[in-house]
Amino acid sequence: MKTFAAISLFIFTGIFTALFFGFDLSEASESLEYDDEQEGLEDEIVIKFSHVVAENTPKGKAVRKFASLVQDWSNGDIKVEIYSNGTLYNDQNEYTALKDGHIQMIAPATSKLTERFPQWQVLDLPFAFPSYEAVKQAYQGEIGTTLLNTVEKDGIKGMTFWYNGYKQVTSNKQPLLVPADFNRTHLRIMPSPMIESQFQSLGASTSKLPFNKTYSNLEVNFINGQENTPSNIYSKKLFEEQAYMTISNHGYLGYVVLINGTFWKDLSKEHQTIVQEALNETTDWIWRHSIEMNDAHLRKIKRADSIDVHYLTNEQKESWKQTFEPVYEEAENTIGKRLMEEIYTIQEQY
């Protein structure tokens, strides 16, 4: 009995002490202690930069470089928060999130703007660019300027183009070398009508799937293959689910860097210059490094036992080109005469 009374007294004292001394909720609602490192926090400008690829890719590294330049040059006034791998927004909703101001910058593959702005399909024409220099000329010349202007109607500012590399096709059925090999092959593509029609002309069927769903769809065999750059194929481990890769260089994957228009206008002139110059330097950097990054990733893919890498012969490439002729004939309707003439001029030059 004595023991019972002692235990009860102990519990009661404990509850009493906790209520009156232990759980002082007023403390939680009090304002934070003064901390001079927090000073100016509300003045800090934050750029949320969302993208869908891995960190160890041309775009992943370029965003990091841009972020550190902006932070350094603005003495920490502008902070760039990076959301990679589609962790905040994916390729289906990042454009709307940018437009609505939930994030301030994105750098989607140019193909992802083609459904909203059909002219962007000019960059997805098959074998559009005979060389890297030709890509650069398109981005920096009249094609680039015309395309960057299109997004203004969404209250978005087109800032620059970034480079990745030529796309290659992979499959788990058979090597994709001549058009007949594409029969009964189901491929993942980016949402671009131009890419869709080129693969359909080769005889394949396609699904427009988000980038970050590609691996899982290869894994369950919903798709048999896909097209992408070596850096994306390697960093997302897509090659592990594929038995064949063809170095076809049939298309180029590059990016457009976009910023929310209101956010841009609200920046001071000095901050606009910092952002613009950091982008110029990053564009220059990704131009110089994207080729070697893709080459390094291709070498790693070649070392994997699970996949055979083939190169298109000139003859095989010619058979693809012939198949694509109707795609070029129809393109003028969606892309317009002026941009088509511009792309033909670039093709003749390089």
Q: Which residue among 114, 192, 232, 283 contacts ligand LMR (CB under 6 A)?
A: 232
**Interaction of residue 156 with ligand LMR, rule CB under 6 A:** no
* Min CB(147)–ligand LMR separation in Å: 16
- Tell me how many degrees the CA angle 220-86-80 measures, rounded to the nearest 5: 165
Q: Which residue among 48, 49, 50, 53 contacts ligand LMR (CB under 6 A)?
A: 53
Phi, psi torsion values for 50, nearest 5 degrees: -105, 135
CA distance 235 to 223: 19
- Name, in order, each residue with C-beta under 8 angstroms of 187's C-beta and a sequence gap of 6 or more: 169, 199, 204, 205, 206, 207, 223, 224, 225, 226, 227
CB burial of 304-322 (b: ≥16 within 10 Å; e: otherwise) equals eeebebbebeeebbebbee
User: Are 194 and 124 in contact, with CB atoms under 8 Å apart?
Assistant: yes
User: Are 152 and 113 in contact, with CB atoms under 8 Å apart?
Assistant: no
What is the footprint of ligand LMR within residues 188-207 (CB under 6 A)? 190
Q: Which residue among 69, 70, 98, 109 contacts ligand LMR (CB under 6 A)?
A: 109
**Interaction of residue 293 with ligand LMR, rule CB under 6 A:** no
Of the listed pieces 52-60, 66-74, 146-154, 270-278, which binds ligand LMR according to CB under 6 A? 52-60
- Beta carbon nearer to ligand LMR, 54 or 134: 54
Tell me the site size for ligand LMR, rule CB under 6 A: 11
* Min CB(232)–ligand LMR separation in Å: 5
- Where do we find the tokens 């290659």? 168
Q: Which residue among 69, 91, 147, 245 contacts ligand LMR (CB under 6 A)?
A: 91
* SS3 category, 7: helix
* Min CB(118)–ligand LMR separation in Å: 18
- Beta carbon nearer to ligand LMR, 148 or 253: 253
User: Are 187 and 206 in contact, with CB atoms under 8 Å apart?
Assistant: yes
Alpha helices by DSSP H, the chain:
2-17, 26-29, 58-73, 94-99, 132-140, 142-150, 193-202, 214-219, 230-235, 261-266, 269-303, 314-323, 325-335, 337-349
Of the listed pieces 51-59, 66-74, 170-178, 283-291, which binds ligand LMR according to CB under 6 A? 51-59
Q: CA nearest 278: which of 165, 158, 159? A: 159
Q: What is the DSSP pairing of strand 186-189 with strand 225-228?
A: parallel
Q: How many CA atoms lie within 13 A of 227 on its CB side?
A: 33
What is the footprint of ligand LMR within residues 9-38 (CB under 6 A)? none
- Beta carbon nearer to ligand LMR, 73 or 120: 120
- Beta carbon nearer to ligand LMR, 78 or 82: 82
- Burial-class residue 175 by CB neighbours within 10 Å (0-12, 13-18, 19+): middle
**Interaction of residue 52 with ligand LMR, rule CB under 6 A:** yes
**Interaction of residue 211 with ligand LMR, rule CB under 6 A:** yes
* Min CB(162)–ligand LMR separation in Å: 10
**Interaction of residue 294 with ligand LMR, rule CB under 6 A:** no
* Min CB(202)–ligand LMR separation in Å: 18
Q: In 10 A of CB 262, how many CB atoms?
A: 12
* Min CB(127)–ligand LMR separation in Å: 19
User: Are 252 and 228 in contact, with CB atoms under 8 Å apart?
Assistant: no
Interface mask (CB under 6 A) for ligand LMR, residues 247-286, using x and -? ------x---------------------------------
- Beta carbon nearer to ligand LMR, 91 or 342: 91
* Min CB(205)–ligand LMR separation in Å: 18
Sites of contact with ligand LMR (CB under 6 A) = 52-53, 59, 91, 109, 164, 190, 211, 228, 232, 253
